Amino acid sequence: MDLAVEMREITKVFKKVAANDKVNFNLKKGSIHGLLGENGAGKTTLMNCLYGLYQPESGKIFINGKNVRIDSPQKAMSLGVGMVHQHFMLVRPMTVVENIMLGLSSKRGPFLDTDRVERELLALSKRFNLNLEPKAKIWQLSVGEQQRVEILSALYRGAEILILDEPTAVLTPNEAQELFGILRMMRNDGKSVILISHKLEEILAIVDEVTVLRDGRLVGQAQVTAETTKRDLTSMMVGRDVLFNFKHETLKTGATKLMVNHLGARNDKGLPALKEVSFSISAGEILGFAGVDGNGQKELCEVLTGLRPTTSGEICLNGKELNRSSPKTFINEGIAHIPEDRHKTGLAMNMGIARNLILKNFSQSGFSSRGLLNFRAIKKNAERLMEEYAIKANGVHTKVKDLSGGNQQKVILARELSSKPEIIIANQPTRGLDIGATEYVRQKLLEESAKGAGVLLISADLEEILQLSDRIAVLYDGQIMGILGRNASVEEIGLLMAGVRTEEVEVC
């Protein structure tokens, strides 16, 4: 079979450390190719080289057998290479067509030929089952739909080779299945796809071949057949076996820690985002929140950390009322928060790791004395946490923006989980983490709850919810549809997630 992409001996060095070290990568035409590796292995870097965002120090790239130099994304697109990043780059108040037309030249000279583009987009959307309405405004779309807009945009620009960097991290299982349907259709159409993912089930389900990176080096390329197992992939990635199943000890909860009654709040557009939300979390309990993204999860977390005002209801922690308290009070009362948007909220990207690890407690006695920061203690703390959470970086002062996605997430986790919290509000805590780190974080959440903390766990990954939670609440349109026991079935949860109320709803 012909190769759509051949990358030969690609080396990319950042500050003397090789993120890619003589990596070879071959993509067959008309195939779906998985790119695997632990956090910081160099997957994104390799793909950024292919998409023209980085120039490798050495190595050659061939597209359809032709040696090319890709010095910008524009060049990549002209060669038929498209890339969908994990976060989208869409202009929210504009429509789908308008977003796709941005940066394209019109065939009608100075005038926009919106109608023609719209027709073409509609046809393209039909052909690949993207199910998009070109006139819809971006902000009205779900995350999954926005992702499809990015794919449509790449296809419209003539992409024959599509790179998807952790596309399913933000999707619900259903949305992920839809995405895979689209990818299969593209494969049948002769297009080639590169898929980066940490979710091995997905890789096994859809890809034809995998390439595995470890520490910037190629460790293997293999066909994926019906016989391939998760274990095969992990031992390639990590170089050893990883435990997949661990036991959740039986319920042994204590006194009520967090109590939320009839909570209401508005979203950024001023519309009601939380309606009459009531629940409680006991010491030692993990309360999972299932639900499609955008049904009030973000607002719930913000209300519970003082970042968003409530319009009604009350929040009590250990019997103390916290309504209208400042974020500082919530922090001081021991509420840790792993926010959904790590770049905008959770991190100061231009500061070093050490500083990001003390973002919330730099003025406390351990890290500053008489108003001056204690750099020795700050560095020690960073060294300890980097070791404990396996944060891969050149040093404690490496700027967070220079870390790989998974390692950025680990910085937040290390900071929040090491604060001896009373309550942990974890919004998508394992998003973007590799298997090893995911297991570690889940273990850590169980450990903290065993020590008596209450955990509020929000995740798009139902499996994660089922694995960790003692009880499972389902959020739909800002309301709790029901709170189920830990033995709830996926079907039951799925119905509630879709807004269908069932009979046996347990009231908390």
Ligand X SMILES: Nc1ncnc2c1ncn2[C@@H]1O[C@H](COP(=O)(O)OP(=O)(O)OP(=O)(O)O)[C@@H](O)[C@H]1O
Q: Are 170 and 143 in contact (CB under 8 A)?
A: yes
Helix axes 143-156, 173-188, angle to 10 degrees: 20
- For residue 414, give both structure tokens: 């290390």
Kindly state whether residue 379 participates in binding another protein, applying the rule CB under 8 A: yes
- Pick what 127 binds: Mg ion, ligand X, another protein, none; C-beta below 5 to 8 Å, kind-dependent: none
Nearest in space to 318 (alpha carbons), one of 421, 204, 448: 421
Give the nearer residue to ligand X in terms of CB position, either 305 or 404: 404
Q: Which is nearer to Mg ion, 28 or 87 (CB)?
A: 87
Tokens 């009590």 correspond to what residue?
A: 316
Q: How far is CA 115 from CA 99, 134, 139, 493, in A?
A: 14, 10, 21, 42
Say how far apart CA 54 and CA 44 lie, in whole Å: 10
Distance of alpha carbon 303 from alpha carbon 487, whole angstroms: 29
Footprint on this chain of ligand X (rule: CB under 6 A): 14-15, 19, 37, 39-45, 392-393, 402-407, 434
Among 5, 20, 42, 44, contact with Mg ion (rule: CB under 5 A): 44
Tell which one of 119, 262, 343, 384 touches another protein (CB under 8 A): 343
Nearest CB to ligand X, comparing residues 169 and 455: 169
Residue among 24, 58, 326, 502 that touches another protein (CB under 8 A): 326
Least Å from the CB of residue 226 to another protein? 33
DSSP string, 290-352: E--TTSSHHHHHHHTTTSS--SEEEEEETTEE-TT--HHHHHHTTEEEE-S-IIIII--TTSB
H or E element at residue 117 = helix 114-127
Measuring CA to CA, which residue among 264, 257, 267, 255 is closest to residue 323? 264
Minimum CB separation from Mg ion for residue 342, in Å? 13
328 is a contact residue toward another protein (CB under 8 A): yes
Comparing CB distances to another protein, the nearer of 405 and 421 is 405
Site for Mg ion in 243-282 (CB under 5 A): none
**330 in contact with another protein (CB under 8 A):** yes
Q: What stretch of H or E contains 205?
A: helix 200-206
Q: Which is nearer to another protein, 10 or 19 (CB)?
A: 19
For residue 185, give every residue at least 6 positions away whose Cβ sits within 8 Å of its Cβ, in sequence order, or none: 127, 128, 129
Q: Which residue is nearest to ligand X (CB)?
A: 406
Question: Which one among 30, 346, 454, 478 touches another protein, defined by CB under 8 A?
Answer: 346
Nearer to ligand X, 285 or 402 (CB): 402
Q: Residues 462, 269: contact at Cβ < 8 Å? A: no
Binding segment for another protein (CB under 8 A), chosen from 82-90, 133-141, 220-228, 478-486, is 82-90
Q: How far is the CB of 165 from ligand X (least distance, A)?
A: 7
Closest CA to 432 of 450, 405, 451, 459: 405
Query: Given candidates 405, 421, 454, 482, which one binds Mg ion under the rule CB under 5 A?
Result: 405
Q: Which is nearer to another protein, 372 or 507 (CB)?
A: 372
Which residues contribute to the site for another protein (CB under 8 A)?
44, 48, 53, 85-89, 165, 305, 307, 326-328, 330-332, 337, 339, 343-352, 354-355, 359-360, 362-363, 367-368, 371-373, 375, 378-379, 397, 401, 403-405, 408
Which residues contribute to the site for Mg ion (CB under 5 A)?
44, 405
